[in-house]
Amino acid sequence: MDGKVIVITGGSSGMGAAMAKAFVDRGAKVAVFDLNEEKGRALVAEINQPTAAFYKVDVTNKQAIAAAVDEVEAQFGPLTTWVNSAGVSEMKPFLESSEELWDLTMDVNLKATFLCCQVAIERMLKTGGGEILNMSSLSGKKASSWQTIYCASKFGVQGLTQSIAKEFADQNIRVNSICPGIVYTEMWEKLKHQYAKKRNLDPEEVMDYFKGNIPMHRLVDLQDVINAAVFLVTDQSSYLTGQSINLVGGEWMD
Ligand SMILES: NC(=O)c1ccc[n+]([C@@H]2O[C@H](COP(=O)([O-])OP(=O)(O)OC[C@H]3O[C@@H](n4cnc5c(N)ncnc54)[C@H](O)[C@@H]3O)[C@@H](O)[C@H]2O)c1
């Protein structure tokens, strides 16, 4: 990944942080955009390379995104690659799901992806192309009760990914997504309590409950995410655009 200049939104935590470390290890320059400054700075300190940087950015704000990209390009050179991993998720019965939760989820998961893709593509068109990777979800393909808003946002990410991919396919910009099942990150440390309520389980039983329903009987590893992401943002996948990789251990095949 030498020569790549990559922005990872939501890179302070979970899959974004795992990708940041893995991409720097492979020679890329990586800028993490996240609201969580403490975790973002700790990550960059742990990576301990001049090729990793943290920017405190609210990815629902286009001006803030564009200003941070100016700084990244001044520090690392022209942007080549963008990963949208910032996300939020709550599990609630439909009738208890508030308008505020709708706005937050749509803003972070869908609108921010739209804004970031716009900013990234404006830059990429000037430099001859690039790659965008959107972290979607199995919930971008498969309905889930108590996750109506989250599913709606991730189904939206799928439509956005495919439409942008089509529009820029002949301009050397590839846009793909990953649809993971369950990755045990901070997101699920919180969600397992909510899911336990839904199924009347002990929170500590939730992950084993899921494993029982996955044909491979294991959750997604961060390494699985890294492998798929490296594939999608390098020339290994040069003929793929508008596609999604289902990282689901056989649970879903469409
Ligand atoms: N964990 C899973 O099981 C799972 C499965 C499928 C898809 N996903 C998706 O993958 C992505 C990463 O998930 P994760 O589990 O690593 O999540 P995570 O909660 O560990 O990390 C998400 C990050 O997004 C950041 N963020 C939230 N709002 C932001 C904003 N407005 N501006 C900037 N940063 C913001 C948070 O600070 C956090 O660091 C998300 O889009 C999530 O929906 C997660």
Domain presence at residue 126: yes
Mean pLDDT on 139-168: 98
pLDDT at res. 23: 98
Token pair for 236: 């290994």
Number of Cβ within a 10 Å radius of residue 215: 11
Pocket test for ligand 1, best of 7, 35, 248 (most atoms within 8 A of CB): 35
Domain presence at residue 200: no
Domain presence at residue 213: no
Q: Where does the pLDDT of residue 142 fall: very low under 50, low under 70, confident under 90, or very high at 90 and above?
A: very high
The alpha carbon dihedral of 66, 53, 29, 43 has a sign of negative
Active site residue 184: no
**DSSP state string for 164-211:** HHHHHGGGTEEEEEEEES-B-SHHHHHHHHHHHHHHT--GGGHHHHHH
Query: Residue 17 C-alpha to ligand 1 middle, in angstroms?
Result: 10
Query: Residue 12 C-alpha to ligand 1 middle, in angstroms?
Result: 9
pLDDT at res. 228: 98
Q: Are 16 and 88 in contact (CB under 8 A)?
A: no
Which residue's CA is minimally distant from atom 7 of ligand 1?
Answer: 137
Q: Which 8-state DSSP code applies to residue 162?
A: H
CA distance 222 to 186: 13
CA distance 233 to 209: 33
Q: Domain holding 40: CATH number?
A: 3.40.50.720
Domain presence at residue 241: yes
Which domain covers residue 26, as residue numbers?
5-181+221-247
pLDDT digits (tens, 9 = 90+) for 171-197: 999 999 999 999 999 999 999 999 999
Q: What totals of helices (H) and strands (E) does the chain contain, helices first?
A: 9, 7
Token pair for 167: 């529009």
pLDDT digits (tens, 9 = 90+) for 42-95: 999 999 999 999 999 999 999 999 999 999 999 999 999 999 999 999 999 999
Atom of ligand 1 nearest to the CA of 39: 39
Mean pLDDT on 134-153: 98
pLDDT at res. 219: 98
Number of independent structural domains in the chain:
1
Number of Cβ within a 10 Å radius of residue 225: 24
pLDDT digits (tens, 9 = 90+) for 191-239: 999 999 999 999 999 999 999 999 999 999 999 999 999 999 999 999 9
Mean pLDDT on 96-104: 98
Domain presence at residue 208: no
Q: Are 173 and 132 in contact (CB under 8 A)?
A: yes
Which residue bears the tokens 């990244």?
72
Domain presence at residue 187: no
pLDDT digits (tens, 9 = 90+) for 152-166: 999 999 999 999 999
Query: Residue 109 C-alpha to ligand 1 middle, in angstroms?
Result: 8
When the pLDDT of each residue in the chain is averaged and rounded to a whole number, the result is 97
Domain presence at residue 59: yes
Pocket test for ligand 1, best of 56, 62, 82, 85 (most atoms within 8 A of CB): 85
Domain presence at residue 193: no
What phi and psi, each to the nearest 5 degrees, are found at residue 243?
A: -105, 165
